Structure 1
């Protein structure tokens, strides 16, 4: 009896254990990893914020566990084509180091292989795109995964980016030379910034982060329209762009064409070529272009750039210098064409634009400033030029500090060196709601050496020039700002040679004609020249214009319209020693700024000249003495003219 009871208990235990074991064995035999697809899809969709679908899932367990996904698709966000997903991967194979995970929970991925992946990047005019993923709310806090190699087979990426006017395709593949680590090969073709683009990239083992002692080689050649980019060197940490030892070479007909490539607006320039070292500063999150050396038109360019993307606006910081600069190369910063019709390397369009400006009756640049472009990035620029060259250029050196913050431009200051003195300008330009700029600027000329002006013009001379000026205006271009401005300008010259000053600074033909009309002999020495001008709504009025030489006293008056670029001036010569040929006859200077004409003043212009002389308003008031002394120092002759004006005005 007892024996039968024992047997019965053993049979119950055997049945109790055997049935579950049999069920587990049956489950193992019948188990399909596809049963876990809904869980994997849900987790991936939640992490990416996009619909994720998987057709098949298989896992091969072992020391190196292999996970294979088939028919993987990552969908688009709302508002994009649902029939063409962001990414479609027929087969994805990931190798995981299971022992490393069990040992210290580190995630080591020896390889990732993708078969024929297709990616469709889309960006709309309003800035929305299908490739920006929501940021993770909570990170793991652990180290990033170590990825050995990414193997791509027949990969295609098609980018259609409306804001960048881009439509190009990138073909990517991994070359696997026998006995060598895999290498990346990528080729791009299409359009970018409405210009044809072609590119070829050759790299090392993709994402090879497991051996930091093996730098990742990079060789990139890119052509976007006429712009050429070459990048060559190595990266120590390719995912983080760390440990960069790269040389970047840029060349093209106009730096403005780099704007869509670098993400920062750049004014038009003449043909350029620069080379330098490219790296990434992790602390600041900035891409740095250092040891820059190159040419910009007829000027050399050296220094460093740093671009910090992200944030509300990208930030460009630059510290640049030139040993020798032609100011015409910087014309794009004020709205003029920075090339001449004969500039080497200029494009056909640049030559046509230069010819149009040359043929235009207008002198002042009227290219509108793009306020949205100003607000696109914050810019902090320091620039120094040791020598300034160019036809008839009077300046010796230049120094500028420019800051653009949220579209507000600040020059503090812009200085031109001339001999022992110089010209300094401080200015603030603030964007207005109507798309114009509010400009407030001051200018100071302090003890400018006239001999330096004369040497630049190929002539001799001596003396000192000084003065102050200011302007307050609103407009969309330099021409509008001057044509609508309010302000004043006072200039003072002591010493020098009248013939050299008028002929060499105003142009040979016009200067000679002016001297002849005034009846003044050549090489007359200047004792004092004072000009005091007022600006009201773009109308420049001559309040005082007086030139005192050793034998003559020349006075002037009238107005000039900066908006219409027209002249309505008169000048009159009085000899200090009466002769039969010294009877005063005023002359008129009329016409446009670009083509002034000189003839005897008649009618209203002559009447105004006589009335002004009779009232004694031509002599400088004593209030100008501080300006005279600031600009040129104490000068008895200029002070005597001011005293004469005070006596005549009683």
Structure 2
């Protein structure tokens, strides 16, 4: 039928059908959007997340707002503990809600993930690491850290991280640590960017710890153009650390401008915080610049004090080697050697408590092998001026390395006036955490005037020189000497004043007591001193010990036992010339090294008794026991020196350490002038010396 003019055409059945279907589909979409429940995906999310994280995961509800920026919210998410950690009282992680805003389009076109917002409401965490290496935060099937394939980790771009009322527990068994972090963020305000704030409280390295950290917002952290601000303060037991400044592009190790300050009663307590072992020290406070690159960590230009000494320098750490390497260049303008005692196994400072049970006179702190293996190091140290009440040292130079647990002291030198005390040592690891050790000290041309200056006198002349050697295996200075073999060979050339030297050589208490026991007056002129004493298995014996003044000759004989820190020694003084009112004979020094007993020998006691008896019978006769006829000048000193050169107990002849020895021509000239015979052989010298020693004891 032909449609009438003006009547609209009727739609075809196909069009009507398509229109109806489109309407039904649109209605279905509307109904689907209106009635859709995103919780239908929750079981799938729980199942797949649990399989991926190797622990149970549950989410109560899922909310999604679609758009160019899609927002996903998980209500009441919970992540349980993995196998092996189910006894923990808390879950691994939970929150009241987790909201993630994501921009899908940049990701779809290959520009990576962009998160305008990640928001955590009341997050809770429980981070645990066990002594066997397993932990609950690496998400591996066996609970052990996954191997590092060396590939760089790329992080998504996050515009804002928002944390409200966070509480995270961190328990690390190997570090003896269990503390909590209270974490929250602050929003931008008054033109200032937001911040991340964390407060720590608990125990770290078995010491109470409190800490406060304020850092820039995560947006700042990821922005390479803006330095990331850092403000950190930590109190770990008695140790305090503050770190303030900025970090340049921290995700790519571009550098930093940080001020670091460390203070506390003992630098060894820093080991858990910095991972670098340091010997015991007295109270310290140092501050300097901290910087880092992808290769090195640098603590430069630092200065401060260590006990009563000042300390400064630069420390550079390479943490990327198999064992971290530390290169330290240190200096002091004024140093008290007591502050450095911890570096040789002693107790630093002047406040050591008396311990009557400790009979060691040498440092006995055991070398900590595990800490020594934790780092390789090169240490250079110079002290401009030394404050020391015992021996007048002027300055100190140290150059030492630690490599694979071995210690190589290439240089440990002290200046003494125009002379030096120069020592070297090597300590190589041995069985039972011991060290095979070789030590050598060269005493070179140390002027007697410098020793006298330390005793308050500026007079005297001559130099002292020689060597000290030690070969041993042990675990501390005291133990090494107690097991050691070596010797001491020291020679004094041209003399000085005995009263100025003995207290410094033997210690103030023992030296002054010995001077009093020997009856030697103040400022006795010293013409010769020889000490040639071998050490075998920790026992120091005597080849020769001679002190000669203008009027007396004093010889020593006996042993010093470093195994049990005792001595059994006799000092005998004889007049060189005819003398009246003197009590010759041996003085016995026995007992513990730290508090020996000094008593007169039988000869002195007999003469004292005889004097008393004669005084009672006939007073003028009391002077008879005090008469000495003298042993004569002789050549005991020269012969002892020759013996020290021929058979030095230290294994090294004094050589030029006391000054250039006279040439053979000069010796021959003197011999011809005096009519003396040619120099005796070593055997003849030894025989003459032994004969003279016997004569002195008669």
Higher mean C-alpha deviation, range 471-480 or range 624-633? 624-633
Q: 1:630–1:48: structure 2 CA closer, same or farther, 3 Å change rule? A: farther
Determine the structure 1 residue equivalent to 2:255: 243
**Other structure's SS at 2:452 match:** helix
The question of 1:204 aligning with 2:210 is answered no
Q: Distance in 2 between matches of 1:472 and 1:426?
A: 12
Structure 1 residue 39 displacement after superposition? 6.6
Q: Distance in 2 between matches of 1:319 and 1:618?
A: 42
Higher mean C-alpha deviation, range 86-95 or range 310-319? 310-319
Alignment of 1:448-597 (within 5 A): 448-460=446-458, 461-495=460-494, 496-507=496-507, 510-518=510-518, 520-579=520-579, 585-597=585-597
Q: Distance in 2 between matches of 1:39 and 1:306?
A: 52
| 1:572/1:587 contact within 8 Å kept | yes
Q: Distance in 2 between matches of 1:437 and 1:448?
A: 31
Structure 1 residue 328 displacement after superposition? 0.7
Q: Distance in 2 between matches of 1:621 and 1:246?
A: 59
Determine the structure 2 residue equivalent to 1:70: 75
Q: TM (normalized to structure 1)?
A: 0.83
Q: Distance in 1 between matches of 2:134 and 2:398?
A: 38
Determine the structure 2 residue equivalent to 1:175: 186
Determine the structure 1 residue equivalent to 2:373: 375
Q: Distance in 2 between matches of 1:572 and 1:139?
A: 74
| 2:123/2:166 contact within 8 Å kept | yes
| 1:445/1:468 contact within 8 Å kept | yes
Structure 2 spans left out of the alignment, 5+ residues: 1-10, 140-144, 607-630, 672-677, 688-698
Higher mean C-alpha deviation, range 238-247 or range 292-301? 238-247
The question of 1:333 aligning with 2:343 is answered yes
The one of 87, 93, 104 equivalent to 1:87 is 93
Determine the structure 2 residue equivalent to 1:631: 657
Q: Distance in 2 between matches of 1:636 and 1:523?
A: 28
Q: 1:140–1:82: structure 2 CA closer, same or farther, 3 Å change rule? A: farther
Q: TM (normalized to structure 2)?
A: 0.78
The one of 282, 294, 297 equivalent to 1:270 is 282
The question of 1:324 aligning with 2:334 is answered yes
**Other structure's SS at 1:434 match:** helix
Q: Distance in 2 between matches of 1:270 and 1:207?
A: 43
The one of 98, 115, 123 equivalent to 2:104 is 98
Structure 1 residue 376 displacement after superposition? 3.4
Structure 1 residue 47 displacement after superposition? 6.4
Determine the structure 1 residue equivalent to 2:162: 151
Alignment of 1:302-317 (within 5 A): 302-309=312-319, 313-317=323-327
The question of 1:620 aligning with 2:643 is answered yes
Structure 1 residue 117 displacement after superposition? 0.9
- Per-residue CA deviations over 1:10-61 (Å, capped at 9, x if unaligned) read 8999999999999888877766555656776677667656555444444433
Determine the structure 1 residue equivalent to 2:65: 60
Determine the structure 2 residue equivalent to 1:191: 203
Determine the structure 2 residue equivalent to 1:647: 684
Provide the alpha-carbon RMSD of the alignment: 3.9
Alignment of 1:400-479 (within 5 A): 400-460=398-458, 461-479=460-478
Q: Distance in 2 between matches of 1:297 and 1:411?
A: 24
| 1:530/1:545 contact within 8 Å kept | yes
**Other structure's SS at 2:543 match:** strand
Q: Distance in 1 between matches of 2:85 and 2:588?
A: 69
Q: 1:48–1:406: structure 2 CA closer, same or farther, 3 Å change rule? A: farther
Q: 1:441–1:48: structure 2 CA closer, same or farther, 3 Å change rule? A: farther
Q: 1:647–1:16: structure 2 CA closer, same or farther, 3 Å change rule? A: same
Q: 1:622–1:262: structure 2 CA closer, same or farther, 3 Å change rule? A: closer
Higher mean C-alpha deviation, range 392-401 or range 571-580? 571-580
Q: 1:106–1:498: structure 2 CA closer, same or farther, 3 Å change rule? A: same
Determine the structure 2 residue equivalent to 1:350: none
Structure 1 residue 482 displacement after superposition? 1.4
Determine the structure 2 residue equivalent to 1:220: 232
Determine the structure 2 residue equivalent to 1:389: 387
Structure possessing the higher radius of gyration over alpha carbons: 2
Q: Distance in 2 between matches of 1:465 and 1:355?
A: 34
Structure 1 residue 313 displacement after superposition? 4.4
Determine the structure 1 residue equivalent to 2:142: none
| 1:118/1:156 contact within 8 Å kept | yes
| 2:558/2:568 contact within 8 Å kept | yes
Q: 1:152–1:432: structure 2 CA closer, same or farther, 3 Å change rule? A: same
Q: Distance in 2 between matches of 1:149 and 1:406?
A: 46
Higher mean C-alpha deviation, range 294-303 or range 429-438? 429-438
| 1:621/1:645 contact within 8 Å kept | no
- Per-residue CA deviations over 1:373-399 (Å, capped at 9, x if unaligned) read 333333432222111113234221112
Q: Distance in 2 between matches of 1:116 and 1:192?
A: 25
Higher mean C-alpha deviation, range 473-482 or range 325-334? 473-482
Structure 1 residue 295 displacement after superposition? 0.8
Higher mean C-alpha deviation, range 393-402 or range 630-639? 630-639
Structure 1 residue 192 displacement after superposition? 2.3
**Other structure's SS at 1:355 match:** coil
